Structure 1
Amino acid sequence: MALIHWNPLQELNTIQRELNHIFEADMLGTTILDRTAAKVPAAELQETDDAVYLKLELPGMEAKDIDLQVTDKAVYISGERKSETKTEDKGKIKSEFHYGKFQRVIPLPTRIQNTNVKAEYKDGILNLTLPKAEEEKHKVVKINLDSVG
């Protein structure tokens, strides 16, 4: 077992930086969670014996504004939420909508057949069916119990 040198002052510096970010965000009227949500779509991942199902939340986006790439090990998604700018002569507009570019890489729990991916995009929800690679479907792992305990 390797010994790791722990520097408590470094941990305090990290905490201080995080607190500064929280207070800085609060002064701007936003939270860190709000700023992060603008950049990354929410995802839900489910795995069965035959496939991996990925659901991504992309409200207010058109399919043409989404770039989706799938490898055998990950899903890469990027796009841009475009604002519909409207100017008013009287008054101010306050918006909590998030606009701008985003990107996200979602590592997959198992290898998939990226040539057989099925995608459906409806009402701001992208559903991907990612069939598992044949060698992953029937993969059996032998566990050596001699080393346990």
Structure 2
Amino acid sequence: MFGLQFVNEVSNMQREMDQFLRELGFASASENPLRPIKFEVTEKENSHSVKALLPGLNSESLNISVLGRRLTIAGEFTEAEVPEGSHWYRQERQRGKFEQNIQLATDLDVENIEAEYIDGVLRIDLPKAVSALPKKIALKVNE
């Protein structure tokens, strides 16, 4: 019983310390300032489509690469500036570097991949390789 009570007390103390640090404008030690990017991945007959909301990301820091079936997206969110004499009351924007991989189900036509980043939205169209597309087999009939 004592062990569980001790764990609960430590957890409560950590929560209170995190709240105190947030009120001072600091990220707490237990918070990761960079949360994983959330992607929407859809598959059509001839392609995959990847979409991500990346508001505040400088497009020059965005790096997209493909190796086999693995799509890698990396970039860096810049720190938002605080006017002089101010401090953070609350900050929920992403900041820092990130790199995430998405493993796709089929081989890709890497020569025809298209990506665009408009108004904080990244869209990537990944056509499937010809070898990954369904192929209709001609049937020979001997009569």
Does the TM-score normalized on the shorter chain lie above 0.5?
yes
User: Is 1:86 aligned with 2:76?
Assistant: no
Q: Is the 8 A contact 1:53 1:128 kept in 2?
A: yes
Q: Deviations over 1:14-62 (max 9, x none)?
A: xxxxxx89x857742479xx737x2422100000110001112211112
Name the structure 1 match of 2:32: 35
Name the structure 2 match of 1:65: 61
* Equivalent of residue 108 in structure 1, options 104, 124, 129: 104
Q: Deviations over 1:87-131 (max 9, x none)?
A: 432x53222222111110111121111121011111111111100
Name the structure 2 match of 1:98: 94
Q: Is the 8 A contact 1:70 1:114 kept in 2?
A: yes
Counterpart residue identity of residue 85, structure 1: E
Q: Is the 8 A contact 2:62 2:73 kept in 1?
A: yes
What does 1:36-51 correspond to in 2, within 5 Å? Answer: 38-51=34-47
Count matched residues.
Answer: 117
Counterpart residue identity of residue 48, structure 2: V
**What are the ranges of 5 or more consecutive residues in structure 1 without an aligned counterpart?**
1-19, 141-149
CA RMSD of aligned residues (A): 2.9
TM-score by length of 2: 0.68
Counterpart residue identity of residue 42, structure 1: K
Q: Is the 8 A contact 2:82 2:88 kept in 1?
A: no
**What are the ranges of 5 or more consecutive residues in structure 2 without an aligned counterpart?**
1-9, 20-26, 137-143
**Counterpart Cα distance in 1 of 2:17 and 2:40:** 32
Report % sequence identity: 27
**Counterpart Cα distance in 2 of 1:120 and 1:26:** 43
